[in-house]
Structure 1
Amino acid sequence: MSSTTSDHNTVHTAVQQWLDNVVIGLNLCPFAAKPQRNKQIKIHVSEASTENDALEDIYRQMQELDTTPVEDLETTLVVTPNLFESFDDYNQFLDILDGLLIQAGYDGIYQIASFHPDYCFYGTHPDDAENLTNRSPYPIFHLIREDSMEKVLKHYPDPEGIPERNIERVEALTPEEVATLFPFLKK
């Protein structure tokens, strides 16, 4: 099933709003605002409808990061609207992506952050607020340059505390704020 241009625009807009309002707006990633201001974040809406196609697409996006100066492209969000409706399938695919990083020689060069509409951390209940930190309108694989992450972490106080601060932030949201910020959540 291939997306139409209209579908592509809808997906891109939803991810952009999530990035602006949730990731940056709630400061869940304190490193995202600057590359967003500098237009260094690419949102790539993948047409992949099979896991193999998704692997190829993600690999191509890593190759583009390889050949594009960081000043022009800091990071890429690969969105897969046609795949991984099930969080379990998505989570299992992350293991395959780890293998791709190693096999392609990208281990230590890129890391992948994961986001999904039904994201659920191990040991949590699906309704636990802390899962909101990784919930997104579509399945997303965030390709992060390791070098860039190392640079920003050197100058950021208490990076180990980010997850706990994020959990506190989302737990403090009112039901109305959750409904506004996460309109894609299943009721």
Structure 2
Amino acid sequence: ALESIPSFASSLLLLKSHRLSPGWLQVDEPTLSRLPSSTRASEVICSTNVSHYELQVEIGRGFDNLTSVHLARHTPTGTLVTIKITNLENCTEERLKALQKAVILSHFFRHPNITTYWTCFTVGSWLWVISPFMAYGSASQLLRTYFPEGMSETLIRSILFGAVRGLNYLHQNGCIHRIYMDIM
């Protein structure tokens, strides 16, 4: 039901309804019903005003290179954030469905080993997803930047333990994460 979906979804539906089949916003109800109530984004940063974010630098690409990932500053608070920006017009119907499901589900997940988002909104045909900034990045970025000769077994064990805890949480809530390479 639309009432259980984050507010940006209705604007996405209007934007892309001509390309998508009815019900594309719906996620299997059993999955959502098992998830804990989410913390309201307003408890952290919920500004959907694009002028409240100052893009600093592109720090990566994702979602089959359709998304640019930026370090940014939330100007009212000075908080560093990560902004994932996707031009929805460049997405195929299949990729739109995958993106929609990923964003909706990640809104409901609350676990220390899973990065969630604080808010998301559309600017024209662009989807902006605001997340906390993770200063050290992924395990592969850590390896390249800080451990070019390799990580110790203790550090590897710590990283994998966190990743497995996050995956276990997803599995307990009926979600199968098929892109394991994203955690590394």
Give the strand-richer structure, 1 or 2. Answer: 2
Give the helix-richer structure, 1 or 2. Answer: 1
TM-score strictly above 0.5:
no
Task: Provide the TM-score with structure 1 as the length reference.
Answer: 0.29
Task: Provide the TM-score with structure 2 as the length reference.
Answer: 0.29
Structure with bigger gyration radius:
2
